[in-house]
A and B are shown apart, each in its own frame.
Chain A
Amino acid sequence: MTDVEKLLRDTLADPRHRLEPLPGMYEGVRERARHRQQRIVQLASAVTVVVVIAGVATAVRLSTNSPREAQPTASLSASPPAHAQFNRVDIGAGSTGFLSVTPYVIFLAQTHPNGLIAVSPSDLSIAKQIATPDAVDGTAVDRVAGLVWTWSSTQPADASGDSAADSTSIHAYQTSTFAMDGAVTLPAYTFSAVALDGKLWLATSGGLYVVGTGSDGTKSATKVVDGSVSSVAADAPRHRILFGVFVETPTASSTTTDSNTIGIVAVHAVDAANHHVTTVGTPLPVGKESIAVVDGQVWVAGFGSDSLLIHLDAKTLRPIGAGASGLGKLDLGPGAIVWPGESVVWVRAGGSEALSCFDPKTGAVLEQWDTVQGPVASVVGRAYAASDGSLEQLSLAGGCKG
């Protein structure tokens, strides 16, 4: 056996790669088995219907001796329900903040008391719970590194506008044990953050920051882009980070003629490995924007008077339209917020609690809910919203895959 073979054998047998099953593993398997069985039954029924229709059609053709007549067709697709339902489960007192979802764990931030919670998706029971040093503003899970990041921002108590006094406290926890993996503090207020390849990228009042792990195992923060960065999103397949920066504010703007326009932003891209800006986008007529990258498609939503939901060309980061006909019919009010699902994009109307799920490639609206509070996250087959003291599992009864 060569040295490489021995090292490979030792590596594969390294107990650090051992995984402990999460609570509810068996229930999850049985649930999948039930869904699988249902799909098989549905498929068999559909095939039977098609065969019967084809048989009838053949019979009709034979009896009339006119093959061009009698062309029955069977449609196996159903229209999605206009307003699907959801189940709501209380998970304890205190408000829940941003949530992160993986196929097997839902991570939630909680205040009163401050804590981080891991919820089992099979029965929405709390699998793990720890106290956090601060009230967590948001969470981001890094499935590759096995970390869940939390951040907590504070602003100066006297509201003097001294941005230098802003700060963000960041902690990393191991997803499997919730053991603390490191902490770091930034001198800026954080608007949003996203995890990619073992690093946390933060959109802050002081710029785009990245938090990584040094050779000594400690966490450290580096400023990648200066300025006020208001949003950030991961484009994992392209190994890049997208971020939105304020180009003009309403007060300083000479071009924002409409009173409803609250700002102009541009979305740029930075390489996740070397931290170089790789693509510079064009100004977009929205403020308070959010970015979602799903299935290679880039969508930006924001508040303003023009296009509130904008589809960007992934290569140039320039607008390629405001979506297909389905999105055009959405009443978004003064603006919109988007969140990425695993295979869909979620959009919340700014003036209401209406939530829609749409196809990232076609812009077709797949499913809608009248009132869903809090941020939304999903993986294929499951979607959740977190609001004050509760976690809602949305029923994906229509075409929304999650």
Chain B
Amino acid sequence: MNRADEDDFRSFVAARSPSLLWFAHLLTGDRYAAEDIVQTALAKTAAGWSRVRRKDNPEGYVRRAIVNTHLNAVRRRPWREQPREHIPEDVDSRSREHELDDRDSMWHALAGLPPRQRAVLVLRYYEDLSESDIADVLGCSRGTVKSQAAKGLLHLRRIVQKEDAST
């Protein structure tokens, strides 16, 4: 990496790290895992930064690297994130009575989704990507994106309804 690329990459990391970390946090639900995959994705990008920086959307390229890094890591270590039908009672219980209860419940319901379904929903409802763009990022068909999104939403709806019924 030459000096100009180095300066540009440093500026990019400084400016976009908070946004990239937020995105990674939504994907993983774990702040340390988020920091880990963002650094790994940026490290992968660094070598080819002179090429990446000339793209229309370098940040989109990095976000795609983040998604793939996360899904690859989950595939290698499946025990780290296992979907559970029943969300365990833990820290979420403390905030049920507060005004942000619903979001907290939704955040914990997201933790019960398989990583790929969660990624589809984050790309759809946070990144506002189209189905074909999501399919491009994840390397799958539009039909798969559609079905994954539908399954994910169904799971979330069930959890939210269960929460409502219990309160």
Contact = CB atoms under 8 A, between A and B. Distances in A.
Interface of A: 2, 4-5, 7-14, 16-22, 25-26, 28-30, 32-33, 35-37, 102-104, 143-146, 175-176, 197-199, 213-217, 237, 239, 273, 296
Contacts of B32: 102-104, 143
Contacts of A33: 42-44, 46-47
A262 B29 CA distance: 45
B22 A17 contact: yes
A214 B125 contact: no
Nearest to A196: B90
Contacts of B46: 29-30, 33
Given A8-B106, A103-B36, A32 B17 contact: no
Contacts of A13: 126
A278 B13 CA distance: 47
Contacts of B25: 17-19
B157 interface: yes
B30 A144 contact: yes
29 contacts: A2-B157, A8-B110, A8-B156, A10-B106, A12-B26, A12-B126, A14-B100, A16-B100, A17-B22, A17-B107, A18-B18, A19-B25, A21-B35, A29-B42, A32-B39, A32-B40, A32-B42, A104-B32, A104-B35, A104-B39, A143-B31, A145-B91, A146-B31, A176-B31, A198-B90, A215-B93, A215-B96, A216-B94, A239-B88
A144 B30 CA distance: 6
B14 A215 contact: no
B151 interface: no
A215 B97 contact: yes
Contacts of A10: 103, 106
Contact of A7 (B21, B30, B106): B106
Interface string B42-58: 11101100000000000
A19 B90 contact: no
Nearest to B41: A29
Task: In the A-B complex, list the 9 residue pairs whose CB atoms are closest, starting with the nearest.
Answer: A32-B43, A33-B46, A19-B21, A198-B91, A21-B17, A11-B106, A12-B126, A33-B43, A29-B42
A198 B111 CA distance: 15
Interface of B: 10, 13-14, 17-18, 21-22, 24-26, 30-36, 39-40, 42-44, 46-47, 79, 88-91, 93-97, 100, 102-103, 106-107, 110, 121-122, 125-126, 153, 156-157, 160
A18 B20 CA distance: 10
Nearest to B103: A11
Contacts of B88: 197, 239, 273
A273 B89 contact: yes
Nearest to B33: A143
Contact of B110 (A11, A144, A145): A11
Contacts of A215: 93-94, 96-97
Nearest to B17: A21
B156 A19 contact: no
B35 A26 contact: no
Contacts of A216: 94
Nearest to A9: B125
Contacts of A104: 32, 35-36, 39
- Interface centre among A11, A144, A296, by most chain B C-beta atoms within 10 angstroms, is A11
